[in-house]
Amino acid sequence: MLDELLAAWIGRQRWFGGKGRPIDELSIDSDVELTPGLRHLIVAVWQEGSRDRYQLLLGERTELPDRLTHSFIGTTGDRHLYDAVHDPDLTGWLLDGMAHDETRSGLRMRHVSGVTIDTAPRSLVLGAEQSNTSLVFGDSYICKLFRRLIPGVNPELEIVTALAARNAPHIARPYGWIEADLDGTDTTLAIMQEFLTPANDGWGLALASVRDLYASRPEVPAGEVGGDFAAESLRLGDATARVHHELASAFPTDVVEMHEIKRMAETFRRRLGRAVAEVPELRRHVTAIEDAYHRVELLTNEVPVQRVHGDYHLGQVMRTPTDWVVLDFEGEPGQPLAERRALYSPLRDVAGMLRSFDYAARHLLADHPQAGQLESRAQEWADRNRAAFLDGYAEGGGVITGADAALLRAFELSKAVYEVVYEARNRPSWIPIPLAAFRPRAA
């Protein structure tokens, strides 16, 4: 009965990765009672011959208050079942378990050595996430619950604990985590970190700056408009370089020889071919993109590689009253864990942030009646903030040589090719945003 209720409910959740496909079977792999009225479940979902596993905090009540009706799953007997992440009367278990290093039937709750966890704050679920669920406890902690489970230690837990042990700046301090064995492998189920308050996310701040620019008189240079973001882009570049330095100090590094760089360029080229077949608008830019990839193939020097962020953009950074903080080191959630933990050139992160500046500049132009008139202002904002970010990256110790510039351009165009396909599939009116990446840029 419970598996049938879950099968009917799970497909409607934002974090469920198999939306749009029928569920062939759902089974319960693990069912652990944590406290009266609260169970921890790991469920296996079979779709088209493949299996994914998800975790759920299952609440049980004889009467469901109005504040929890949106999380209702179903009824068995006289018990109402619901998604208990929304119930602050029960989620205190997360704090208690980590604070006291509890273990329940293979479910291990741990706190970071040397920290003390206050178990008093009550929780509130953040509503913006797609693939995970985050609970904020007062103004102290944020606990990210990984809904879709991938066997292995999550890169975010691995990275932030290693950097915190080095007293590295620019990260949110870790406090604890939850883990269990999945397929015989230690697997991260949740991670709890410092909740940054007061703080603002980089994407929101950048968009506020762009709005100010669009509202200003056309003859006023971007640097003279109120809300100019370039000084923050400079600081963010500096912080990014320092995070890369800390990652290189905390984890192994290596170099990639040129035959591997050529193989990478060929991978970019194959992706371009598939993208052109799906999005014909790309065809007129193929020559310029191919030229950028060919410049990488002509490089003769080895390329240093290290652990990187892996999914770096303005939505992954927060501006506190004192500095920038980098979040979400788990990499691209849709990629295999081994790929997210692999070593890459730090220029991959730099390219991701440069693409994010372009998106911030043009995001508000999608479906805008004056998009044509504002395009030059968007380009001005993007160029100004990209340059400031790169200057800050250099000030923070990041090195971008002439050869690096060719590799950076290839990373950026490969990212833009991916974005074109994504927008064609999901938001066709946004295709002009990544297409703008293929225009020649001012030196």
Q: Considering the domain boundaries, does residue 443 fall inside one?
A: no
Reported as a single tens digit per residue, the pLDDT across 121-178 is 999 999 876 789 999 999 999 999 999 999 999 999 999 999 999 999 999 999 999 9
Residue at a domain's end among 195, 228, 258 = 195
Residue 11 lies in a domain: yes
What confidence score (pLDDT) does residue 440 get? 77
For residue 213, tell me if it sits in a domain: yes
Taking a C-beta distance cutoff of 8 angstroms, is the pair 57, 90 a contact? yes
Residues in the chain, pLDDT under 70: 129, 441-443
Looking at the structure, do residues 175 and 229 belong to the same domain, yes or no? no
The count of domains in the chain is 2
Residue 208 falls within a domain, yes or no? yes
Could you tell me if residue 233 is inside a domain?
yes
Q: What is the CATH number of the domain that holds 239?
A: 3.90.1200.10
Residue 442 confidence (pLDDT): 58
User: What is the DSSP track for 335-381?
Assistant: S-HHHHTS-B-THHHHHHHHHHHHHHHHHTTTT-TTHHHHHHHHHHH
Cβ-Cβ contacts under 8 Å for 99 (sequence gap 6 or more):
111, 116, 117, 119, 176
Nearest-5° Cα angle at 316, 224 to 312: 90
pLDDT score recorded for residue 369: 79
288 assigned to some structural domain = yes
On whether residue 126 sits in a domain, the answer given is: yes
The domain in which residue 291 lies consists of: 200-438
> Does 179 share its domain with 81?
yes
Omega of the bond prior to 198 within 30 degrees of 0, cis? yes
Are residues 76 and 220 located together in one domain of the fold?
no
Ranges of beta strands (E only) in 165-236 are: 174-182, 185-194, 200-201
Q: Which of 195, 227, 246 marks a domain boundary?
A: 195
Same domain, 403 and 339: yes
> Do 140 and 62 belong to one domain?
yes
199: Cβ contacts below 8 Å, ≥ 6 apart: 318, 319, 320, 321, 325
Q: Which amino acid is at 64?
A: L
Extended beta strands in 166-315, E state:
174-182, 185-194, 200-201, 254-256, 303-305
- pLDDT given for residue 368 in this prediction: 80
Q: Is the same domain home to 170 and 223?
A: no
Give me 209's structure tokens. Answer: 């700056």
Give the end of a domain, one of 195, 224, 244.
195
Same structural domain for residues 416 and 320? yes
Both 41 and 68 in one domain: the answer is yes
Same domain, 210 and 182: no
Q: What is the pLDDT of residues 431-443, one digit of tens each?
A: 999 999 998 765 5
**Encoded tokens for 181:** 């064995």
Asked if residue 162 and residue 52 are part of one domain, the reply reads yes
Whether residues 17 and 61 fall in one domain:
yes
Same domain, 69 and 160: yes
- Residue 47 in domain: yes
Which residue's entry shows tokens 């109120």? 226
